[in-house]
Every structure is written in structure tokens, then in C-alpha cells.
Chains A and B, each alone.
Chain A
Amino acid sequence: GNSVTQMEGPVTLSEEAFLTINCTYTATGYPSLFWYVQYPGEGLQLLLKATKADDKGSNKGFEATYRKETTSFHLEKGSVQVSDSAVYFCALRNQGGKLIFGQGTELSVKP
């Protein structure tokens, strides 16, 4: 079946550090891939997406590339800020149109 696996958190970084949050997926066909972010006390917001192999999604300095050969969609940012502290969810949309979420990775950025 379809599934998404993220690296376990919490991830703690200093401000301006490089961020990688790993995400791998299992799916039939060619799913669309998403990263959602949940800031403290808020709902989820779409951060970026990619709809086909080799697509790169980007937003707010975050990037992720759809890698079909490794079934991965790792989230990266070159220089994190305290305001990036949040929980990040990787998700895929399966052929039936439903979103399948990973377990979430908490990021804490210290000044």
C-alpha cells in the first residue's frame, strides 16, 4: 500500500544551520508529493509540492526534489531561522486522491 516515512525528530539546530529532513515513500503509480508545515498552535499549511519526477518544489527558502529512483522527497533549507521552528509533514497524494501523511518531524531552531 501507500506509505510515507520521515526521519524521526525532534531535530534541534542552531540558527543559520543547514537543514535536511528525510522523506521516503512507497506508492503505486506516480503520486504527487507535498511538504506541509504546522507552526505551534496552528493547523497545517502547504509549504511546497512536486507533481512529477525530477520536479523541484520551493517556497520560503525550502526546497525538495521528487526523486523517483530513490522514492524520496527530502526537505532542505540552506540557513534556518528561529521562526522555522515547527512540525514538518511529508505527504503523498495517491491515485484515489487521498493524502497519506508521514508521522511528522519536529524542528527546533535555537538562536
Chain B
Amino acid sequence: DVKVTQSSRYLVKRTGEKVFLECVQDMDHENMFWYRQDPGLGLRLIYFSYDVKMKEKGDIPEGYSVSREKKERFSLILESASTNQTSMYLCASSLTGLAGEGAKNIQYFGAGTRLSVL
């Protein structure tokens, strides 16, 4: 079974703090993704990575950065947390590249990290 593990289920941080959200996958997947989930808005892509040290902006990258130093780990960084970043954050991974069909680019999700910024 594919396993995507997010290090924390719940986090409470203060405005201005630097926040790290960690995600690890154990299936040697090439692609990893960070989304945020908000009521009424569904999931929105923040950043994704298609290889070690490679990253691409998603739809809402402002206020976030990412790091992928090892294939299995993809970190989301909030440089200076703000209250509007209170949300559920979901990490996902897929085996191969974005294009093409088939099971190889199905995204598998972690359980999520619910972040509250006070």
C-alpha cells in the first residue's frame, strides 16, 4: 500500500512564527504536492515537485515555500505565519509525471495537518 505520512495531525502556531509541515512517502514516487483545503473552496494547489530539488508554483503559492532535498520528503514552509493561513493542509504523491494516463499518476493523499494560526 502507498503510504503518505504527514508529521502532525494538528498544529497551533502564533502569527509571525516560521512553520514547517513535513510529508514523507514510502513508494519512491517522483511527484509530490501540497494543497490546502478550505470549506466551500475544495482543494487548492500550493506547490508541487516533480523531482528532488525541483519545484513548481501551484495556484496559491503566496506566503509559502517548499523544500525537497530527498525524494521521499517534501516540506511546506510558512515563513511568517498569518491568521489567513489557518487551514487543513494535505500532501499527496504520485508515481510518475503529470501528463499521460493510467494508474501511475494517480495522487495518493496523506491524512492532513490542521493548522491554526492565532
A residues at B contact (CB < 8 Å): 4, 32, 36, 41-46, 49, 51, 89, 93, 96-99, 101-104
Contacts and interface: CB of A to CB of B under 8 A. Distances in A.
Given A41-B111, A42-B111, A43-B4, A103 B41 contact: yes
Interface stretch (B11-19, B63-71, B72-80, B95-103): B95-103
A97 B98 contact: yes
B61 interface: no
Interface of B: 4, 37, 40-45, 48, 58, 90, 92, 97-101, 105-112
Contacts of B48: 98
A89 B111 contact: no
A98 to B, nearest CB: 6
B98 A103 contact: no
Contacts of A96: 98-99
B58 A98 contact: yes
B45 A99 contact: yes
B62 to A, nearest CB: 17
B111 A43 contact: yes
